Structure 1
Amino acid sequence: MAEHSVNSEELVTVGRITSVYGIRGWVKVHSYTEPMENILQYSRWWLQNPAANPAKGVSQWQPLEIDAGKRHGKGLIIRIKGVDDRDIAAQFCQRDIAVVGGEMPQLDDGEYYWHQLHGLQVVSTFEGQETRFGEVARLMETGANDVMVVRGGDDGRERLIPYIPGEFITEVDLEAGVITVNWDPEF
């Protein structure tokens, strides 16, 4: 197999290989895409390399080819090309899957991928008072709506802010790296 390389900054984590499935080399995949099957549409996957050592020229990511993938129960299973043994497949488990961000579909105005929001500064303008809440540490699904976990800021607190544009999220400025919210600093 020819050696491939990719700049880590171009990659976006879209899932994780969690465990083996069966005895013929299939593995379970937890997809972060919505819907979950969208992860199967990417032509090239990159797998986190546990032996990464940039100082010695060992890349953090290695190419991963799959030759089959499908929904199974409430999740997904895939078969890695050239792997037909459970023990070999186990070596791929508990590792993140990434794709080149440029391969991701373009979104409509006002829509954002979670990775674009991660790390942005959050500022509240509740009742005309500007309060810095810190940065987006992560986002999570709750069923009703997504929630931003925001840490740091003027008071060092962690806040859970519903990601509801037009209600609590008043502006997202990717270039400035700021999300403006209408959220009471007491919460």
Structure 2
Amino acid sequence: MKNRPTFGMFGLAVNDEGAFSLLELLVVVIILGILVFSAALSFADSRLQMSVTAAARQVEAALEQAKTAARQENVKYELTFYSSMASHPDTYEFRHNVGTENPSLPGTYTWNIVSVNRSVTQEIVIEESGNWYNQIGNGVHVVSEVTVTFEPMGTQMSITPVTITLQKGSETREVTIDAAGKITTVELVNP
């Protein structure tokens, strides 16, 4: 008469030699492989989300800095976000009004918008021909070019909201600033 298998840990059958069968080991390896694969996918998704969230915070900080600088310096500030298709892709540039006294009419000024280095974090700043371009971090793309203008009172000139759309892979965030200067960020859910 054949010996019946005994059941060991987790209800797995153990043969007479005290080992698991090849089929049982194969099932365990397949289950572990599925778990590792799903964990890796989840990790990749969370890294993607973190990249786009960090870029959205970078844009929020730049908008806040331009708004504050317009108030403190009492000059107009523009913040232009360049798209992936621009000559300086996925960057933004601070510009502000600079007054130059008119030599033929003392006491009068000519105002020009001039690029200024106002990086807000440890971002990469590219200087070219007197213009300063701040790189959007983590390989995140600006979907389309947008310019936001702040008047000296710190509010935006435009009445309609301005939206900066950021994207990396399947993750998208929209950073919106309204006419009063309120900044909001929304995560877009892709189907």
TM range (shorter): under 0.3
Higher strand fraction (1 or 2): 1
Larger Rg: 2
Q: TM-score, normalised by structure 1?
A: 0.22
Q: TM-score, normalised by structure 2?
A: 0.22
Higher helix fraction (1 or 2): 2
